[in-house]
Amino acid sequence: MITTAYFNFPYKTAVSRSIAGTTVRILLDGGSFDNFIRDGEDSKRKSQSNRWVGVAFGRVDMEERYEPLKELGSGNFGVARLAKDKKTGELVAVKYIERGKKIDENVQREIINHRSLRHPNIIRFKEVLLTPTHLAIVLEYASGGELFERICTAGRFSEDEARYFFQQLISGVSYCHSMEICHRDLKLENTLLDGNPSPRLKICDFGYSKSALLHSQPKSTVGTPAYIAPEVLSRKEYDGKISDVWSCGVTLYVMLVGAYPFEEPEDPRNFRKTIGRIIGVQYSIPDYVRVSTECRNLLSRIFVADPAKRITIPEIKQNPWFLKNLPKEIIEAERKGFEETKKDQPCQKVEEIMKIIQEARVPGQGSKAGDGIGGQGGAGSLDIEDDEEIDVSGEYEHV
């Protein structure tokens, strides 16, 4: 069944927007623009100067383009599903968010910031589509699951294995920063793995990200408590790039130790105590964990309360421990830099995306969970009161 979305635009304006945006892409797949106009003659008309124009996108596009395969998971954002591109056979993950109030600034930031990123260690953004009930974000599928799951299975990694994933994490974060985007919620659950025998790490979930080109310096306390840097808790402006470094350090520590560095050992679910230990930079590496002096020194330069004195991403990339056994793929990615981004621009225009997001803010009719295709990603944000005790691996947002 073809689903047609109606926009209250002046007729000529709607036609020109359709040609430049979603409609022309779909109509080239199956019909001419003239046929589209004829087929829409009995569409609703509000007036001669302000007519209703049917824009053929949404559910028909989803059904024709993608075959839903299975659910990957769910969270506050909605449902996550695996799908197959019917034209190419490629497996994709689609983040499926209910239309209406859930389409907030975080969703818009996630889409616009993620769209501009092209790097082997970042999940590839493909497109956004609109159904009658949901907004669908189509993404590259990482079949290896979360890095968090791999650590849970292993308990902890050897130093060499931890370095292998840390090198990829830093490469991806370095690229984000070169594109003037800070992630602000780096954690094991937001790092996925592809299905290769030597897995490639992929950063995902840019819902808390900020672009220095589009936004002011961040000052909101957002992210996941166990990974939050001290300055993020100050409720003052901070450099998101430097706070990302701290989160990378927490990720490295967890890979090495199998526990969070700033949890109170006797009371790990106590949020207040965790924050106190973060501010005081109170952490240690257990005696039973074998970690080299070079690695310990790097962690000590990352876990510095004063962000001005903390090691930077460029400095980490020159650190001897980091450079040891550096994969050639990372060296190649660093060499290509911006050239890959310039050559491989996303095909979906920002104007088209913003139009879809705006329409998605209008609640859909008959919305229900599971109606459509979902996406790959973690849980949404969690609002927390100051005196609440929570699992510090959950997410935190204070604006």
Q: What is the pLDDT of residues 142-166, one digit of tens each?
A: 999 999 999 999 999 999 999 999 9
Q: Examine the domain organization and report whether 48 and 158 are in the same domain.
A: no
Minimum mean pLDDT range among 130-144, 175-189, 360-374: 360-374
Domain hosting 27: range is: 5-57
Q: How far is CA 160 from the centre of its chain?
A: 27
Q: Examine the domain organization and report whether 201 and 328 are in the same domain.
A: yes
Q: Among residues 292, 321, 337, which one ends one of the domains?
A: 337
Query: What global pTM score does this model have?
Result: 0.76
Q: Examine the domain organization and report whether 52 and 151 are in the same domain.
A: no
The residue-averaged pLDDT of 315-322 equals 98
CATH code assigned at 284: 1.10.510.10
Query: How far, CA to CA in Å, does 211 sit from each of 182, 208, 312?
Result: 7, 10, 18
pLDDT band for position 389 (cuts 50, 70, 90): very low
Instruction: Answer yes or no: is 324 within a domain.
Output: yes
Q: Tally the residues of the chain.
A: 399
pLDDT score for 86: 95
pLDDT score for 62: 80
Residues of the binding site for ATP: 95
Q: Which of 318, 196, 297 is nearest to 249 (CA)?
A: 297
Instruction: Answer yes or no: is 305 within a domain.
Output: yes
pLDDT band for position 107 (cuts 50, 70, 90): very high
For the chain, the domain total comes to 2
Q: Examine the domain organization and report whether 173 and 277 are in the same domain.
A: yes
Q: Examine the domain organization and report whether 292 and 170 are in the same domain.
A: yes
Q: Examine the domain organization and report whether 149 and 52 are in the same domain.
A: no
Instruction: Answer yes or no: is 48 within a domain.
Output: yes
Residue that wins the pLDDT comparison between 345 and 24: 345
Q: Examine the domain organization and report whether 320 and 220 are in the same domain.
A: yes
The dihedrals phi and psi of 223, each to the nearest 5 degrees, come to 125, -155
Residues of the binding site: 95
Q: Examine the domain organization and report whether 161 and 16 are in the same domain.
A: no
- Predicted confidence (pLDDT) at residue 43 exceeds the cutoff of 60: no
Q: Examine the domain organization and report whether 188 and 50 are in the same domain.
A: no
- Predicted confidence (pLDDT) at residue 85 exceeds the cutoff of 90: yes
Instruction: Answer yes or no: is 195 within a domain.
Output: yes
Most confident range (mean pLDDT) of 56-70, 352-366, 371-385 is 352-366
- Predicted confidence (pLDDT) at residue 374 exceeds the cutoff of 80: no
Instruction: Answer yes or no: is 92 within a domain.
Output: no
Residue that wins the pLDDT comparison between 171 and 35: 171
pLDDT score for 347: 75
pLDDT score for 162: 98
The residue-averaged pLDDT of 235-240 equals 89
The residue-averaged pLDDT of 96-111 equals 92
Q: Mean of the per-residue pLDDT values for the chain?
A: 78
Q: Examine the domain organization and report whether 317 and 199 are in the same domain.
A: yes
Cite the active site residues: 185
pLDDT band for position 339 (cuts 50, 70, 90): low
Q: What are the start-end ranges of the H helices in the chain?
A: 11-20, 22-29, 33-39, 59-65, 105-115, 147-154, 159-178, 240-257, 271-279, 293-302, 313-316, 320-323, 328-336, 338-343, 350-360
CB 277 within 8 A of CB 312: no
Query: How far, CA to CA in Å, does 7 sit from each of 17, 55, 134, 386?
Result: 11, 7, 17, 44
Residue that wins the pLDDT comparison between 271 and 252: 252
CB 239 within 8 A of CB 229: no
**CB neighbours (10 Å) of residue 314?**
11
Instruction: Answer yes or no: is 161 within a domain.
Output: yes
Spell out a b/e string for 333-364, using b for 16 or more CB atoms within 10 Å of the CB, else e: beeeeeeebeeeebebeeebbebbbebbeeeb
The residue-averaged pLDDT of 35-39 equals 31
Task: State how far the Cα of 204 lies from the Cα of 394, in Å rounded to an integer.
Answer: 16
Task: State how far the Cα of 264 lies from the Cα of 266, in Å rounded to an integer.
Answer: 6
Q: Examine the domain organization and report whether 164 and 39 are in the same domain.
A: no
Q: Among residues 337, 357, 377, which one ends one of the domains?
A: 337
Q: Examine the domain organization and report whether 165 and 309 are in the same domain.
A: yes
Q: How far is CA 90 from the centre of its chain?
A: 20
Q: Which of 338, 327, 350 is nearest to 119 (CA)?
A: 338
Instruction: Answer yes or no: is 12 within a domain.
Output: yes
Instruction: Answer yes or no: is 79 within a domain.
Output: no
Q: Among residues 57, 83, 98, which one ends one of the domains?
A: 57
